[in-house]
């Protein structure tokens, strides 16, 4: 049954209209073989009225009544009555139209002749035709009810889907809040201890170099706590109105990054003056990650940071030499360069990294059009 309904829905509307007119014309032809021109014209009008039954079903039904009265045709009035039943919710109107159809079929033309010849047969015919009219009316109402049920089911499914989305968002919010709490409780505690101990070392150190290093550590700890606080706020705001990110670094912040790194870094070159904020942020994060890797894997090595630009692209190249100190055994998730590569791909560029003959290099390239 469902397959038949689906197949019927695939038939174009114009094809259904032509089929309805053809059925009505075939029915009318049985009654107009020897009819007068008026009867033929009324039957033709009734068949043509089926073409407007989708937009004006009541008008189409009214145009079929004269032919039903004169020629006793069935197909055109029944089809028009079905179209009216599908599109209206006024039950009294359907009852009135069904009664008019039954009266037209039972009385016939001329009206005075039918009433004077056999009134009992006219009444019986009226009852039978009223039952005939009930069939398209009930079928049309059934089609209308089925459409209402489909709409209601679609609404219920949409509501359930929305509820599932809300449940998922609530679960993600709980996970984000838990992650935010863990980050705040664990990381901020450790960084705070580092800052406190660096402050104590800054006060008690005997030489200037140690005091300067302790001050640098304390400054970096404070900066880390600020960025951690912003990330925690962002995680806790998931699912609500975001408080927004803190001001993101640009190329102008490279000097401060190099100064606080404590590494022998030489910066040269420049980016285009019209480089966008995402491009500048990608360059800054690339240099930041490269300096972090050098600090862990090749401490003491000379570092060259070259900002460059040509006609098609721009970017940065970071090259470091051989390590002069033992590498630091720090934990690493090995996701830094992967994240930089994904950031570059989002901007339409690329990131290449790998060992050189005496060190390691990181090369970021972004098209000038994106810049």
What would the pLDDT profile of 158-212 be if each residue is shown by its tens digit? 888 888 888 887 787 777 777 766 666 667 667 767 777 777 787 788 788 888 8
CATH architecture of 251-367: 2-Layer Sandwich (3.30)
Q: Say if CB 162 and CB 232 are below 8 A apart.
A: no
Q: Indicate if the alpha-carbon torsion angle 212, 215, 221, 222 is positive or negative.
A: negative
**Confidence check: pLDDT of 33 > 70:** no
Does the pLDDT value for residue 365 go beyond 80?
Answer: yes
Least confident window among 13-22, 287-296, 330-339: 330-339
The pLDDT of residue 61 is 87
Could you tell me the two tokens for 274?
Answer: 């019209």
pTM of the predicted structure, to 2 decimals: 0.45
Give start and end residues of each alpha helix (H) in the chain: 2-10, 13-29, 37-49, 57-71, 75-87, 91-107, 111-117, 119-182, 188-204, 208-236, 254-261, 277-297, 336-346
Exposure of 157 in the CB half-sphere (CA atoms within 13 A): 6
Residue 263 has pLDDT above 50, yes or no: yes
Higher pLDDT, 248 or 324: 324
Encoding tokens for residue 296? 């862990």
Is pLDDT larger for residue 227 or for residue 315? Answer: 315
Q: Where are the domains of the chain?
A: 2-117, 251-367
Question: What tokens were used for 263?
Answer: 């590494």
Contact indicator for 289, 332 with CB cutoff of 8 Å: no
């Amino acid at each position: 049954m469902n397959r038949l309904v689906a197949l019927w829905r695939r038939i174009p509307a114009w094809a259904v209209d032509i089929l309805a007119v053809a059925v009505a014309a075939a029915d009318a032809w049985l009654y107009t073989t020897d009819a007068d021109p008026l009867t033929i014209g009324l039957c033709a009008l009734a068949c043509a009225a089926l073409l407007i039954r989708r937009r004006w079903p009541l008008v189409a039904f009214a145009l079929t009544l004269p032919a039903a009265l004169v020629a006793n045709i069935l197909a055109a009035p029944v089809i028009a009555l079905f179209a009216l039943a599908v599109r209206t919710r006024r039950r009294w109107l359907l009852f009135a139209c069904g009664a008019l159809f039954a009266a037209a079929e039972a009385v016939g033309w001329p009206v005075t002749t039918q009433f004077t010849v056999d009134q009992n047969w006219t009444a019986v015919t009226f009852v039978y035709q009223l039952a005939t009219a009930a069939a398209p009316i009930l079928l049309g109402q059934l089609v209308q009810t089925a459409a209402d049920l489909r709409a209601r089911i679609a609404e219920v499914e949409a509501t359930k889907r929305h509820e599932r989305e809300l449940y998922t968002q609530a679960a993600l919010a709980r996970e984000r809040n838990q992650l935010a709490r863990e980050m705040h409780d664990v990381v901020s505690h450790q960084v705070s201890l580092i800052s406190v101990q660096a402050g104590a070392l800054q006060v008690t150190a005997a030489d200037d170099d140690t005091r300067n290093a302790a001050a640098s550590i304390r400054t970096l700890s404070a900066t880390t706590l600020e960025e951690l606080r912003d990330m925690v706020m962002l995680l806790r705001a998931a699912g609500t109105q975001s408080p927004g990110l803190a001001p993101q670094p640009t190329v102008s912040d490279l000097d401060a990054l190099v100064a606080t790194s404590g590494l022998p870094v030489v910066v040269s070159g420049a980016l285009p003056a019209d480089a966008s904020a995402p491009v500048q942020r990608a360059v800054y994060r690339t240099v930041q990650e490269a300096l972090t890797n050098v600090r862990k894997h090749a401490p003491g090595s000379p570092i060259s940071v070259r900002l460059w630009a040509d006609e098609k692209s721009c970017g940065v190249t970071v090259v470091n030499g051989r390590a002069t100190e033992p590498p630091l055994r720090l934990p690493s998730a090995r996701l830094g360069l992967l994240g930089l590569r994904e950031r570059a791909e989002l901007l339409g560029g690329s990131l290449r990294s790998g060992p050189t003959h005496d060190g390691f290099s990181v090369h970021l390239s972004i098209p000038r059009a994106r810049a």
